[in-house]
Amino acid sequence: MQDFPLFPPSASSIAREVDLLYLFITSVSAFFVVLVAALVVIFAVKYRRRHPDEVGADIHGSLAAELVWTFVPLVLALVMFFWGADVYFRISRPPVDALEMYVVGKQWMWKVQHPDGTREINQMHVPAGRNIRLTLGSEDVIHDYAIPAFRVRTDVVPGKLTTLWFNATKPGTYHLFCAEYCGTMHSQMIGEVIVMEPHEYEAWLAGGTAGPAVPPEQAGEQLFAENACITCHTGQPNAIGPDLAGIYGSERRLADGRVVIADDNYLRESIMVPLAKVVEGYQPVMPPFQGLISEEQLMQLIAYVKSLTPSQAPAQ
Ligand code: CUA
């Protein structure tokens, strides 16, 4: 497909839809700007005062004109709203079959980790034609992970995790930007996204890094043991901490009666500031890990917890 002139290349499954919506809104706006400006000039000339004693005609309104200039803009605005909402929802809901990758932003670089544990900095290699879901966190200030060719971006905010997904359609090299001013070297916090054919991506993973890469959930399992999480989260019925198997995405009833979903940010908070949400039936005894583990280690712990399904839990 041909790219629109002046636009970045369209290299993801959503890019064309974003462009069409953008062109529609721009065209409608341009049409009315030209219409209004032209009428101002035409009417100023056509209805100008020709004699000093000329008096304007008394007009008492027109129901037809009122209805037209109310309903035409209403319909146009609602088209923009529903079309925009549809594209927005599809951009913000990652498909379940997506390949999981982890991104950490810090002043002033992007650290990327692949599902097999391979790491890279200011570069992100991805296979074409696969749904890819990024989980992003920041070690310091607000950054913004932006890939114009894919028409996606998300703020990367300290103290929470955000997600972004895309499906890259065309092999090639594309710009990666930090799109939120984050300090002196903000403009250097750039990189490239390299889209490869799936078999090339596999070859790149196999031949790339120095030494064997440890997958995030495996690194998380080690951290789980090293930080002695396992002493309380044993998975046994009378354990001090809740059983974590199958917890991801489930509903959690809290001691104060609230019910919350155990998503990425719930797991993050429960590790960093455990007393913020204590699960019903448990004592508020877990120490906070805020400041003790890095954003990357946090993501590895979450990857480990996500990988625990009830059948893999320690024997009950
Ligand atoms: Cu990071 Cu701007």
Listing from the earlier edge strand, what are the strands of the sheet with 119-121? 119-121, 109-113, 99-106, 131-138, 162-167
d(CA 5, CA 23): 12
Report pLDDT digits (tens) over 282-301.
888 888 888 788 888 888 88
- Class of residue 308 by CB neighbours under 10 A (exposed 0-12, middle 13-18, buried 19+): buried
Burial of 302: CB neighbours in 10 Å, binned 0-12, 13-18, 19+: buried
221-243: per-residue pLDDT in tens? Answer: 888 888 888 878 887 777 788 88
Highest-confidence segment of 23-37, 201-215, 266-280: 23-37
Higher local confidence (pLDDT), 154 or 277: 154
d(CA 182, ligand 1 centre) in Å: 4
Q: From the CB of 106, is ligand 1 less than 6 Å away?
A: no
Given 3.40.640.10, 3.90.420.10, 1.10.760.10, 3.40.50.720, which CATH number is that of 216-307? Answer: 1.10.760.10
Lookup result for tokens 């919350």: 260
CB 133 within 8 A of CB 162: no
The reply to whether domains 1-44+62-211 and 216-307 share a CATH topology is: no
CATH class of 1-44+62-211: mainly beta
Q: Where are the alpha helices (DSSP H) in 136-187?
A: none
Give the atom of ligand 1 at the shortest distance from the alpha carbon of 108: 1
Catalogue the long-range contacts made by 222-231 (C-beta closer than 8 Å, 24 or more residues apart): 223/293, 223/297, 223/300, 223/301, 223/304, 224/301, 224/304, 227/289, 227/292, 227/293, 229/301
- Whole-number Å distance, alpha carbon 10 to ligand 1 midpoint, is 24
- CB burial of 206-219 (b: ≥16 within 10 Å; e: otherwise) equals eeeeeeebbbbbbb
Could you tell me the residue ranges of all domains in the chain?
Answer: 1-44+62-211, 216-307
Smallest CA separation from ligand 1 atom 1, residue: 143
pLDDT at 316: 39
CA-178 nearest atom, ligand 1:
2
pTM above 0.75, yes or no: yes
pLDDT at res. 170: 92
Nearest ligand 1 atom to alpha carbon 187: 2
Asked if pLDDT for residue 213 goes beyond 80, the answer is no
Paired tokens of 133? 């879901």
In 211-277, DSSP assigns E strands to 251-253, 259-261
- pLDDT tens-digit profile of 117-164? 888 899 999 999 999 999 999 999 999 999 999 999 999 999 889 999
